[in-house]
Structure 1
């Protein structure tokens, strides 16, 4: 009788897939993960168009409504730390397909939910899935492509990924106007189904580096718990900074700081005991990675804060409909996709620190220009300023990961991709809360509230001050971006 171990052929590993599809296989692999990341990014941003409608449906205040975004960000931020362990234990295919199934389930559950608590649970489920999948493309680009192709691959990947959220708000805004907020949850369904099919066809079963996935080290649950507690304390502390409970805010922020100190101490202990840490602190011994992490945090704060602030500004300050908001952002999204493709090619030849610095400068300029808008300003100015900001993003997106991670030793690449994604999303989660807090604070200072049905000069001034904060953060990040320069021999 035949051996028990050979009743059926094993699923294709990396080497077998390369032999089957030839030199183009690496592009097929990139396309496969691109579709899944498109779904995860769409789920993170498109819900912002529906926040006003959802707030009205559930009779929510601004503070609770913003947890639709920040709750997703918390889950996504923390789950990113588990990506290297999941890939090592289960391989690319099982990890990737599992996250797509989870994202699909979250989208369907959110669309069918009949109370706000269930909506939040669905958003957390979506966030967990999105967090695991987002570091995977950076690992693939740095492992499957040669150094002279990595910029081009990053550009192609970035162009594809931003097209979905560029078009998504336009379609989502129309869906909200026609069918209500529930419809935007179902937009991820076709992307999830397509990504699962592509994964079974092109994504290998192996772990990073082509090794066989093995049940080796267990997950660092204590480190994950400390990371979760620290993130929750940080975000809730920022919310309490509104002034209602200053002592509670101080205690929560102190808890976040204590969690960071405990996390660092625990990770060092894990390494000393010969175990696999959740985040390898050796990454920060590389100057470019350390500085890139600073840029990633500030960049995440500005980017995700603005994705929350801009739709609220257009709908509650300028009184534009949800469909108008999506239409206004569509040209900027298309320009962003084109910019990423062009800058990706340039990243193979030009210094990444220069590209990142240019992008941050343009992003800061776009936020500063929002302050010149008045109630009677033309819509074309809003479109133009959004385009300037998206051109800035196009310079940053394909360049930051490459500039930060190229110096890393190859075994550290999965950890590096996970860590810098975690730091960027931690900034993003803080940015959503920070923008909501600053907006409420400045509205109260000017004697206005978003509950008032009419827009006033005071409300416009409050939004201007929130945009000024984002512009200042981007300008600050340029100082760290200059440290991405490679040291040259004297």
Structure 2
């Protein structure tokens, strides 16, 4: 007898429609997760004023979220195998919902930061699930269409979110941004009860006994991530001894993590990250691109709203309105590119996107206080179109041809490294900006902007452009190895 709520049960009830209904459900939850990661950037300037904190401390609203999301991604394969799709997914949506409400009601910065960390934990576990579903529930011929559908839907959240968020900040303050995830979480939880199976990936029953979570590996990954980010902050503050110590501990943790994962594999355990993944060259190169590109993408997501508000003096609602066309075109680009991501060379799609993204950053140097607003819109569009070529191609292309048993860990690992780069990118942009402002004799606490302030921002944008061009070297190597020549 088929277990009620299992994959086989839902497939018998809904037929071929089920995989699309399941993908729609996790798409809505991913929209909530992605919105929570980006929308708060619009409210950071107002939040820093209300709590009387500097930019360096305020950026932890983004960095804290990113650290939590980065580390929790590594637990997704274990959670799915242990508890199944439905329980894991519903638990994440409930945590994201609770944290959103708690953050919106908090009147203390530490409580706000704790709510952001909780949101990050939930968002991190959810992120790899759609890629696992697309690669395991859809045939190769349908993966492009599924990728297009999912990508377009997910991008609409960050596309519309900052615009609505900017209006909300102007009307009701930054607290209202936390409540944006509530309707998405509620809708996704209702759909999950109907369409998300209770089983683990592959349709087998969830194993509620074993295997146990690799706690030592998780502790090493968490310690390495936290030490890396805190080391960067200490480097900026001038405390070089503490900085180098923390970065050294981060490097040691990374080496220890790799050695521990190898030992887990050799002893027949279940490692947090299966290092056999990196024997697949497209995946190894894809994760390298994901890390470097994560620095540029998330660093710019943090930097751009701050630049428009504190550099050009625009209001939050103006910022949201300026970014809306770019977000909508990003969704449109993903809808088109996603359809061809399974049939066209990944390295070409990703490389073209990286060039456009680098160009959008480099052209920010032409912007000044007299620049027309339409120029800012065009530059934002250029960068988002670049993202539209990268986002739907990278994950699928990096894991194409991989053994099916490795797909859950592959999706988890590539998202982990992308978010690790993103967490470092947010910190690097904040640190570099504060440093260059100090060099040019300005500060974001000054009431009015200046040419010196714009110069400091320009130098950070140049760094992001250079990072994108660096990622090109790895992107070109995502090509699948040619079969050996036979006579």
Tell me the TM-score range normalised by the shorter chain: over 0.9
Instruction: State the partner residue of 2:306.
Output: 312
Q: Are residue 278 (structure 1) and residue 272 (structure 2) matched? A: yes
Deviations 1:275-334 (A, max 9, x none): 000010111111111100000001111111001000000000100000111000000000
Instruction: State the partner residue of 1:3.
Output: none
Contact 1:331 1:387 in 2 (8 A): yes
Distance 1:57 1:11 in 2: 51
How far off is 1:349 after superposition?
A: 2.2
Instruction: State the partner residue of 1:212.
Output: 205
Deviations 1:208-267 (A, max 9, x none): 111110121100011100000000000001111214201111001001000001111111
Structure 2, unaligned runs of 5 or more: none
Instruction: State the partner residue of 2:102.
Output: 109
Deviations 1:118-148 (A, max 9, x none): 0011001000000000000000000001112
TM-score normalized with structure 1 length: 0.97
TM-score normalized with structure 2 length: 0.98
How far off is 1:407 after superposition?
A: 2.4
Contact 1:439 1:466 in 2 (8 A): yes
Match of 2:35 among 14, 25, 42: 42
Instruction: State the partner residue of 2:86.
Output: 93
How far off is 1:488 after superposition?
A: 2.2
Instruction: State the partner residue of 1:175.
Output: 168
Match of 1:166 among 159, 183, 188: 159
Deviations 1:157-198 (A, max 9, x none): 010001011101111111110101110000100000000001
Instruction: State the partner residue of 1:402.
Output: 396
How far off is 1:352 after superposition?
A: 1.1
Q: Which is worse superposed, 451-460 or 305-314?
A: 451-460
Q: Are residue 221 (structure 1) and residue 215 (structure 2) matched? A: yes
Match of 1:288 among 282, 286, 295: 282
Distance 1:251 1:407 in 2: 41
SS at match of 1:241: helix
SS at match of 2:367: coil
Structure 1, unaligned runs of 5 or more: 1-5
Deviations 1:327-359 (A, max 9, x none): 000000000000001001121321111100111
SS at match of 1:208: coil
Contact 2:281 2:480 in 1 (8 A): no
Q: Are residue 358 (structure 1) and residue 352 (structure 2) matched? A: yes
Distance 1:243 1:57 in 2: 23
SS at match of 1:217: coil
Distance 2:380 2:418 in 1: 21
Distance 2:104 2:206 in 1: 35
